[in-house]
Structure 1
Amino acid sequence: MVDSVDIRTKGLKKPVDVAEYLFKRLHQVGVRSVHGLPGDYNLVALDYLPKANLKWIGSVNELNAAYAADGYARVKGISALITTFGVGELSAINGVAGAYAEHVPVVHIVGGPSTISQKNGMMLHHTLGNGDFNVFANMNKEISVALEKLYRPNEIADQIDSALRECYLKSRPVYLLLPTDMVQAKIEGERLDTPIDLSDFENDPEKEDYVVDVVLKYLHNAKNPIMLVDACAIRHRVVEETKQLVDKTKLPVFVTPMGKGAIDESHPCYGGVYAGEGSLPEVTERVEAADLILTVGALKSDFNTAGFSYRTSQLNTIDLHSTHCTVRYSEYPGVAMKGVLRKLIEKVNPGELKEVKPGPEVKNEVEENKDDSEVIKQAWFWPRIGEYLKENDIVVTETGTANFGIWGTKFPVGVTALSQVLWGSIGWSVGAAQGAALATKDLGDNRRTVLFVGDGSIQLTCQEISTMVRHNAKITIFCICNEGFTIERQIHGEEAEYNDIIEWKWKDLPTVFGATEGKAKSYQIKTKDQLEKLLADEDFNNRDGMQFVELYMPKHDAPRALVLTAKASAKNNEKTGSS
C-alpha cells in the first residue's frame, strides 16, 4: 500500500503546504503584518503565519480590518487581509471596494469551506443555505483585478503568483478563496527560490517614443505650462519620476486634494492645491491661465475637483495615466506613464522651454486667519497644524472637515498624506491610521501617525482604537468635536436631526478600549491658548504610543473648500433626468 503522503508529494522537488507557500510569497512582496479576523474556515491557515515571519495584527471587526489593510498598503506598498467565508468577507467588502476605487493593492484571502462541501452543495453555516458557494466570490469579482479559487493543487502556485503580480502592478485588490482542505495540500516549493517578477510592464518602444515626441512638441511650444499631480502618481509609483521632471524643467507644479503629499511642499516650484472653485483664488487663476497642463495620474472625481468645477480645456491638457496617455483629444492606449515620464526626463531640453511665471507662494497662513476669539476655528486650525507637523509624518484625514481643511496646511518635507476622497466611507480613517502606524513599524522607522477625525465619523469605527493600544501604535488622534456630521450639514440638513450625534466622553476612549496610563494619554482642548500650549509641548511632540486630543470647534464652522464643494455637490444631487 502506498502511503498517502507519498501520493501528495509525488513529483515535487520541495513539497510545501499551500498556506506556507502563500504566506511566504506575501512576505517576499513586502507584507510583514496581516490584518483580519479569525473564523473557523481560516483558523488552520492562520497557524502558518509565524512560519513565514508574518505578524498577525487582528482587528475588532472585518470592516475595520479592511480599512487598516488599506492604510497599511498606502504606506508599505501592499497589504494582506484574511477573513472567513460569507459573514467575514461581506463585512470587509466595503473596505475592499474603497481600496479598489482608490487604487490600493490589498490581497484579500478568504478561508472557505472544503472543496468537497462546496461540490456537494452542503447546507453549511456562513452560507445562504442554498448550496451556492459562488455568490460571495461573484460579489467580489467587480472589486478585484484578479479572483482565484484555489481548488486544484497543481494550479495553485501559478494562481497565487499571478494574483500577487496583478495586485502590485495594477495597484488594486485581488481575491483568493482558500478552502479548508487546500490549506495543507502539497505544492511545489522550489518556486519560492525565484521571486515573483514585479517589474513594470514595458511600453512598446515605438509607441512610447511617438507619445514622448508629441508631448515634447507641445511642451516646447507652450508659453505658460504647468504640472498637476494627482493620486495615481502615488498609487502607481511615479512620484520619483515626477519629482525629477519638475527639478529638470522647473515647471510650476500643483497637486489635487487626492495628490497632496506627492510633491515636496517646500519645493520652490510648488504652487498649492488645485481643485477648481475650491482652490485659493491665486491658485485657480494660475492654473486656469495655463496654456498647457501636464497632469500625472488624474482622478477627476467630484470631491477631488470641488464638484467638477475645473475651468480648464482638454485642448490644453496632456493626461498621463497608468494604462494610457491622452494628448489633447488623442488617446494612446497601452502607453503607461512611467515609461513616458522617464523618457521625458531624458529628452526634454530646459533651454527650449519658455521662462514661465512661478506659482503662488505657499505658506501656513496662521496669523492671517487668527481672530481675537479664543474659539478654535477651522480657518486658523489647519495652517496652525502645518507648523506642528514634522518632517516625514504620516497624516490621515477623515471624510469631512479634515479632508477639506488639510488643503490649507503646508506640509514639511516627506509628509505622507492619506485620505479617501473618492470612495469617502465615513470612519475609514480610524482603521487606515492603525494600518499606517503599524506599517511604519514594519519599515523600521519611528515616524508619527497623526489622525484628524470628526466626532461623527469616529463613532462608526472607534473600536479600532483597541487594536492601536494592543500593538502600541505611535499615533496621535485629533478628534474634532463639533456635534455631528458637518460635511452632511453643508450639503443638506443644516439643523436636521439625522446629522446630530450624542456626545461621548471622547478623551476616555483609549481607557475604555484597554489603554493604561502608560500606554495612552488624553487631552481636552477648547481654546486657542490651550491648543498652542499643547502643540508646543515637548512631550506631546515626541511621545511614543497613543495620544488622544478631544478638540472642540463650532458646530457650523467648516473649511472654505468644504463649503464650496458641498454647494456643488448639493446642486449635482438636485439635478433631474430632464435637467
Structure 2
Amino acid sequence: MSEKTISLGTYLFKRLHSEPIGIKNIFGVPGDFNLELLDKIEEIDGLNWVGSVNELNAGYSADGYARVKNGFSKGSLAALITTFGVGELSAVNAVAGAYSEHIPIVHIVGTPSTESTKKQLLLHHTLGNGDFDVFHKISSFISATTAVLDDPATATDEIDRVIETAYINQRPTYLGFPSNMFHLQVPASKLDKPLNLTPPPNDPKVQSEVLDDILSLIQNAKDPVIIIDACCARHDSTPEAKKLIELTSFKFAVTPMAKGSRDIDESSSRFIGTYVGDLSYPRTKDLVESSDLVLSLGAVLSDYNTGSFSYSLDNAKVVEFHSDYTKIKSAHYPGIRMKELLGKLVGEGSALTKICSHITPQKLVLDKFEPVVLPSDHIITQSWLWSNLGGWLREGDVIITETGTSSFGIVQTKFPKNAVGISQVLWGSIGYSVGSAAGAVIAAEEVDPSRRVILFVGDGSLQLTVQEISTMARHKNNIYIFVLNNEGFTIERLIHGPKAVYNDIHSWENTDLLKTFKADNYETYSLKTIGDITKVFKDEKFAKNDKIRLIEIKLDVLDGPENLIEQGRRSEASNK
C-alpha cells in the first residue's frame, strides 16, 4: 500500500496552523505567483485568509497579530504571503520593523517556477536582468534566516527550519516558494515529527557561575530595582519576571517598549512607573537611579526608549538579561539566554528563595498622580487625555498607539491588569498602527471576542495607511479607532518646523470614513471639549465592544505630551 501524500503547499499551512504555532489567520495580498498556493489555505479547517489592501499594511497586520498572540499566551508567530518582486518589496518596510522590534513573522513569497529561474527568462516583476535572487538578498538583511525551495528532497525540512527559526529568535524569516512546487507531493507522515521550538540550552557550567554572581549581588544589595524591557516580553520571559518580582518584592519599572507586557501588573504596589531616563517622572527616575542594583530584563537601549540615551545607571551595578547573552557589570556571557537563566534563578527550591525569606521590602514613597482636571467647556488637551484615559480602560484591553503623540502620551496612562500594549517605539514607521490594529483585532477575536481593541492614531499617520480600515469593515471587526486630529504631523513639528508646509496635511472628513468603507455596524463621534469626551467615557453603551467606532478628537496643532516636547528638542539637537 503506497504511503499517503499531501502537497507541499498543504504541508506548509498544516505546520503553521497546528499547535503550538496555532495560526488561524494569514495576511497578505494575492499575486499571480502565489495564487495557487493561496488555494491550499482552504484545505485546512480553521485556517482563514484575511487579505489586506496592500502588502505594507499586510506586513503591519501580521506584526500586530503576532504581538497580540504573544501578549495573551506563550509565543506564537504570524504568516505573511506576498508575490515575487513587487509584492515582497512593498512589504519590506513592515518586515524590517518586525526585525527591529523582535516580532516573529514567516514571510512567504510566491516566486517564478524553478524552470523559469534556471532559464533566466525575462519575466514581469523582475529587474529585466535575469537576476531572480536580488529580492531574496534584500530580505536576507532583515530576516533571522531565509530559504528558497528548490529541492524536493529537502523542501519540508527547509519549511520546518524557517518556522522554527522565527519562533526561537522572535524575528522574521523568509521563504521563497516557487510556483511549480506548490503541488509537489510529500509524505504526510513528515508532519508527525514535531517542530523543534526549544532554544539552545545554556552551558550549565557557565550558567552556574553566572547564577552565583547574580545571587551574591542580590544578597548584598540594599535597594535593588527590576526594569522590564521589550525583549523580556518578546522572548516569553515575563512569567519568570513576574515570579522574580513576587519572590523578591523588589520595586520594578517598565520602559516605553515594554508597557502592556503580559504578566506585568501596573496595579502592583511595587510598580514605580515607566523609566525613560531624563524623561521619566521625577520620582520614578530617582527610585531607579538611586538603586544599588539594577536587574535589567530584555533591554532595548534605543533613543526613544531611553529618553535620548539619558539613562543614568552605573554599569558597575547593572545585570543585563538578554535573549541570547547575559552581562554582569562589564563581564559578557554569550549564549546564556534570559529565559532559562531566569527560570533557574526563580525556580522552586532555588537559592533565591532562601535569600528572599530574609528580605524586608523597602517602603516606597511614590508620586501621587491625579488626573488633570479642566472645565467641561475647555478644549481637550493631550495632558487631560492621557492622564484620564486609564479610568476608562479595563482589564484585558489591547491598546495600540501610533508613532507620534500617542506613543509618548500613553506612557502617562496607567494600564489595568492584563492589558496588552502595542507601540512601534524603535522602528517608528508612521502609519504602522492602523495596519497593526487590523491584525491585532483579528488575533484578539481568536482568543476572546469580548476583549476591546483600542487604536490611537494621529490624523497625519492615518492618511498613510487608512485603507486598512476597509479590511476591518469587511471582516466586521469590533474596534475603537481614536483619531487625534491636530491638523498634521505634530511629532515632526515638535522636532523641527512647527509652521513648515511639509508638516501640513489636507484635512479629511474623518467621521465619514466608516461610511466610505461601507462598515455595517458602526458609530462615529467628533469630540472637541472636555465635556464631550467625559460624556462618552461615562457611557456604558460606548464601553461595550459590539461595533466598529471612530472617535475624532480635536486638538490644538502644537499640543503634545510633555515628554514628547522634550524629546523633540533632544532629537533636533541630535540631528544637528
CA contact (8 A) 1:221 1:353 kept: no
Q: What's 1:377 paired with?
A: 381
CA contact (8 A) 2:7 2:182 kept: yes
How many Å separate the matches in 2 of 1:307 and 1:13? Answer: 61
Q: What's 2:371 paired with?
A: 366
Instruction: Find 2:398's aligned residue among 394, 398, 419.
Output: 394
Is it true that 1:25 corresponds to 2:15 in the alignment? yes
Deviations 1:191-223 (A, max 9, x none): 212331223332122111111111111111111
Moved over 4 A (4+): none
Is it true that 1:40 corresponds to 2:46 in the alignment? no
Instruction: Find 1:504's aligned residue among 505, 508, 523.
Output: 508
In the alignment, structure 1 segments of 5+ residues that lack a partner are: 1-10, 575-579
CA contact (8 A) 2:495 2:571 kept: yes
SS at structure 1 position matched to 2:153: helix
How many Å separate the matches in 2 of 1:91 and 1:414? Answer: 34
Q: After the TM superposition, which of the residue ranges 52-61 and 391-400 deviates more from structure 2?
A: 52-61
Give the aligned residue type for 2:324. Answer: T
Q: What's 1:452 paired with?
A: 456
How many Å separate the matches in 2 of 1:484 and 1:86? Answer: 33
How many Å separate the matches in 2 of 1:27 and 1:515? Answer: 29
Deviations 1:427-476 (A, max 9, x none): 00000001000001222442110000000000000000000001111210
CA contact (8 A) 2:452 2:545 kept: no
SS at structure 1 position matched to 2:482: strand
- The within-5 A match list for 1:129-168 is 129-168=128-167
How many Å separate the matches in 2 of 1:353 and 1:494? Answer: 52
How many Å separate the matches in 2 of 1:431 and 1:14? Answer: 40
Q: After the TM superposition, which of the residue ranges 243-252 and 262-271 deviates more from structure 2?
A: 262-271
CA contact (8 A) 1:272 1:362 kept: no
How many Å separate the matches in 1 of 2:58 and 2:108? Answer: 12
Deviations 1:119-173 (A, max 9, x none): 0000001111111000000000000011000111110110011111110010000
Is it true that 1:563 corresponds to 2:556 in the alignment? no
Give the aligned residue type for 1:37. Answer: V
- In the alignment of these two chains, the number of paired residues is 560
Q: What's 1:429 paired with?
A: 433
Shift of the alpha carbon at 1:356?
2.7
Deviations 1:27-46 (A, max 9, x none): 02121100000001000000
Shift of the alpha carbon at 1:352?
4.1
SS at structure 1 position matched to 2:258: coil
Is it true that 1:92 corresponds to 2:87 in the alignment? no
How many Å separate the matches in 1 of 2:351 and 2:571? Answer: 42
- The within-5 A match list for 1:64-213 is 64-76=57-69, 77-213=76-212
CA contact (8 A) 2:283 2:367 kept: no
Q: After the TM superposition, which of the residue ranges 386-395 and 541-550 deviates more from structure 2?
A: 541-550
Shift of the alpha carbon at 1:86?
0.2
Instruction: Find 1:52's aligned residue among 28, 44, 49.
Output: 44
Is it true that 1:526 corresponds to 2:553 in the alignment? no
Between the aligned residues of both structures, percent identity stands at 45
Shift of the alpha carbon at 1:95?
0.2
Deviations 1:370-402 (A, max 9, x none): 367611111111121111111000000000000
Deviations 1:212-248 (A, max 9, x none): 1111111111111100000001100011110011011
Give the aligned residue type for 2:283. Answer: E
Give the aligned residue type for 1:432. Answer: S
Shift of the alpha carbon at 1:357?
4.1
SS at structure 2 position matched to 1:48: helix
CA contact (8 A) 2:82 2:108 kept: yes
- The within-5 A match list for 1:543-562 is 543-562=545-564
TM-score by length of 2: 0.95
Shift of the alpha carbon at 1:529?
0.2
What RMSD in Å do the two structures reach over aligned CA positions? 1.4
Q: After the TM superposition, which of the residue ranges 197-206 and 430-439 deviates more from structure 2?
A: 197-206
CA contact (8 A) 2:486 2:557 kept: yes
- The within-5 A match list for 1:292-371 is 292-345=293-346, 346-348=350-352, 349-353=355-359, 355-358=361-364, 360=366, 365-367=370-372, 370=374
How many Å separate the matches in 2 of 1:225 and 1:323? Answer: 24
How many Å separate the matches in 1 of 2:109 and 2:48? Answer: 18
How many Å separate the matches in 1 of 2:56 and 2:449? Answer: 27
TM-score by length of 1: 0.95
How many Å separate the matches in 2 of 1:12 and 1:104? Answer: 41
SS at structure 2 position matched to 1:154: coil
Shift of the alpha carbon at 1:344?
1.4
CA contact (8 A) 2:249 2:361 kept: no
How many Å separate the matches in 2 of 1:158 and 1:554? Answer: 56
Q: What's 2:268 paired with?
A: 267
Is it true that 1:62 corresponds to 2:64 in the alignment? no
SS at structure 2 position matched to 1:451: strand
Shift of the alpha carbon at 1:405?
0.2
CA contact (8 A) 1:233 1:297 kept: yes
Give the aligned residue type for 2:24. Answer: R
How many Å separate the matches in 1 of 2:101 and 2:455? Answer: 19
CA contact (8 A) 1:12 1:187 kept: no
Is it true that 1:485 corresponds to 2:489 in the alignment? yes
Give the aligned residue type for 1:561. Answer: N
How many Å separate the matches in 1 of 2:132 and 2:260? Answer: 43
Give the aligned residue type for 2:180. Answer: D
Quickly say closer, same or farther: Cα 1:156–1:67, change in 2 above 3 A: same
- The within-5 A match list for 1:4-19 is 13-19=3-9
Shift of the alpha carbon at 1:80?
0.3
Quickly say closer, same or farther: Cα 1:424–1:269, change in 2 above 3 A: same
Q: What's 2:417 paired with?
A: 413
CA contact (8 A) 2:256 2:274 kept: yes
How many Å separate the matches in 1 of 2:40 and 2:231? Answer: 34
Shift of the alpha carbon at 1:14?
2.8
How many Å separate the matches in 2 of 1:129 and 1:443? Answer: 46
SS at structure 1 position matched to 2:434: helix
SS at structure 2 position matched to 1:258: helix
CA contact (8 A) 1:479 1:551 kept: yes
How many Å separate the matches in 2 of 1:168 and 1:495? Answer: 46
